C-alpha cells in the first residue's frame, strides 16, 4: 500500500465507512481502510489505514499501519506511519516508526528485537519512552 508491495493471501480492500461502528474481533486477509470506528481486536495480513475520521481502540496487528485519525491501545506492525493529523496513544511494537510533523505519539515503544520469534521466552523487552510536545 505504501512503499514496497507485500503480497497478501487475500485480495481487495475492506472498507469501514464513516457511518460504521464495529465492536469485537475483526480478522482480515487483506488491506483495510477505516473511516468509521472499531473497538476490539483487529488482525490483518495486509496494511491498515486509519483515515482522519477513523478511530480504532483496542489491539491492532498488521504488516503496515498508517494513522491519520486516532488509535488507542496496543499496536504491532512492521512499519507505523503517523501522519500530520494522526494520533497514536498506547503501546507500540514496530520495527520502523515514521511520524510526520504534527503527528502525535503518546505512549511506549517496544524495540524491534521483541518482534523476533527466535528470542528466548521469559526475556523482558526493553522499553523506550517517547514524549509528545
- Cα angle value 102/106/109 (rounded, 5°): 115
Average pLDDT, whole number, for the chain?
85
Structural domain includes residue 76: yes
User: What total of structural domains would you count in the chain?
Assistant: 1
Structural domain includes residue 130: no
Predicted confidence (pLDDT) per residue in 60-90, tens digit: 999 999 999 999 999 999 999 999 999 999 9
| 3-class secondary-structure state, position 102 | coil
Structural domain includes residue 75: yes
Structural domain includes residue 47: yes
* Domain containing residue 26: 13-110
Structural domain includes residue 126: no
Strands (E), the chain: 13-16, 21-28, 31-34, 37-44, 47-50, 55-61, 64-67, 70-82, 87-99, 104-110, 127-130
pLDDT confidence of residue 120: 53
pLDDT confidence of residue 118: 46
What cell numbers appear for 116 in the block?
523476533
Enter the DSSP assignment of 26.
Answer: E
Structural domain includes residue 71: yes
Structural domain includes residue 88: yes
Structural domain includes residue 22: yes
Amino acid at each position: 500500500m505504501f512503499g514496497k508491495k507485500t503480497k497478501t493471501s487475500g485480495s481487495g480492500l475492506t472498507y469501514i465507512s464513516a457511518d460504521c461502528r464495529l465492536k469485537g474481533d475483526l480478522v482480515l486477509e487483506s488491506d483495510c481502510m477505516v473511516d468509521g470506528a472499531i473497538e476490539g481486536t483487529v488482525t490483518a495480513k495486509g496494511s491498515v489505514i486509519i483515515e482522519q475520521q477513523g478511530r480504532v481502540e483496542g489491539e491492532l496487528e498488521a504488516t503496515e499501519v498508517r494513522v491519520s485519525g486516532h488509535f488507542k491501545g496496543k499496536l504491532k506492525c512492521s512499519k507505523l506511519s503517523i501522519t500530520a493529523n494522526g494520533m497514536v496513544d498506547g503501546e507500540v511494537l514496530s520495527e520502523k516508526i515514521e511520524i510526520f510533523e504534527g503527528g502525535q505519539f503518546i505512549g511506549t515503544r517496544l524495540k524491534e528485537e521483541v518482534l523476533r520469534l527466535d528470542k528466548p521466552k521469559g526475556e523482558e523487552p526493553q522499553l523506550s519512552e517517547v514524549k509528545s510536545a
